[in-house]
Structure 1
Amino acid sequence: MSVEAVSWALNDAPDVPPSCLAVLLGLANHAHANGRGAYPSQERLAHYARKSTRSVRADLASLERLGIIRRGDQRHVAFIPVDRRPVVWDLAVERTRPIPTALDRFAEPVSGRSAEVPQPVDNRAEAEFRAVPNRAEAQRTTAGSTAQSGRKPASYKPSLNHQEPTTRAAARDGAGSSVDAGSNRIASPKDQPQTSARRGWEPPRGAALPPATGDARCTKPGHVGQPAGSCAVCRSEALGGAA
């Protein structure tokens, strides 16, 4: 289909009988932009013009006699069998007719002629666009991006530098290790502060000896130098059954 050929058939084709216009438009519908190489079948043209094939043959003969169409290069249909081979037609697009002065050249289509195209008039006022203040963030913020308020949103992903304590590490460090709740790390016994003196704890002095009280000494003969409350000699005598 060629728009140029159809436009020529509607606007510029001269001396076209009204009864042959439909057939001429059918040929233009199958022609190239230069109006050549149209070879629709007579059945196709009859379908376009709503006529019989006999009327189509009469219209083609009339258009050829008026010089509106002429026979073209028949080699275009050499691939079609001879018994079904149509005739190749060329349109005489070099022929034109004058346009009546009553027709507005800007309102009516003009084919193949240079005409002044009216420029569109823009009567619209200049559009003014203003930014909307305090507008919520339209885009989703990710880790590392900065919001309009200057704050960085917290990441929903866990930190790769944070090491959680495991039960295997706690067992490896020993039963005496403890977990620091503030730093989430396992503290060894040597890291713990020495609080024995502050709590009043003293190392054991004996299995059954009472704790020492003051600086009193034992007054029994032969017990010189022993603490009064924890005399080892008195304890030995008591265990041996001495009076």
Structure 2
Amino acid sequence: MSLRALTWAIYDIAPTLTDASAYRILLVLADEADNDGCGVYLSAGTIAERTGLSPRTVATKLKDLETMGITRRGDQSIVAYLPANRRPIVRDLNITADDRGAKTAPQNKQPEPATEPADADMQQGCNRGAADMQLGCNMVAYNPFNPYNPSNPRETARDDEPDTSQTTSDETTADGQWTPNDQTIALADSLNADLDAELERFHDWLDAKAETPHDHDAAFRGWLRRGADRGFLTRRSARRPYDRRAEHKPHKHHANCEHVLAALADIESEYDHTSPTEFGDTSEWALARQAKAEELNQLEQEETA
């Protein structure tokens, strides 16, 4: 989230943007932009979910924002790692240097002390002139020993913006590469994320933006959560049943087993094949085959024991 982009959208664009739907979409874009208002790659479906608008309305309003010059096409290489059929358009907010603060009157400038106050109201610091009324009425008397310096909320927001150019004591390997801490690894496990694949994508994204996060782990955890919410997270693939090696199961001999029939082939004629009952095969030949199968199973169990 960029406070700079949000304050620009709220204070500089909102007074002139009368389309409520376009304004809601602009706030969503500003919330996802970086410090310079760039690198927003939300799909129309995601914006529709966050604003409650239909995807068709979102697509129309995005074109309107671009036509009005409020947004523009950004660096499309940021999403080059995504499949072509799932690759959103990268958009930048058209924030210029003048828009970042030139429209805000400097409020921390000390007023000139009145040399010849005309009346009591002038002693209290109330400017009643036509031109002064356009700038507002300051009801605080000027005191040179305790000057009144109101802060500009937009400037204060920019001062509180985290500096991504600084580095912290992240966990690093022997070659100086950052490695995720236990909290980050636990989050990746809870999301069933492929940690190695997501780390590679995260590093590519940082290289494309040429930025160094103040806290690598916090930035990467945000990366994982956004990927899970938008459906772009690389999941750990479960092994398919046909990818597994077939487990070797010992052969169990039975009455009709080829091993049993081969073992009794020479003496088969010595046994009566006629069954005395109509319920199942209980002939001498059937009983001999069953006995031979049990004998072979017993021998193999003794060999493997």
Rg larger for? 1
Same fold (TM > 0.5): no
Give the TM-score taking structure 1 as reference length: 0.41
> What is the TM-score normalised by the length of structure 2?
0.33
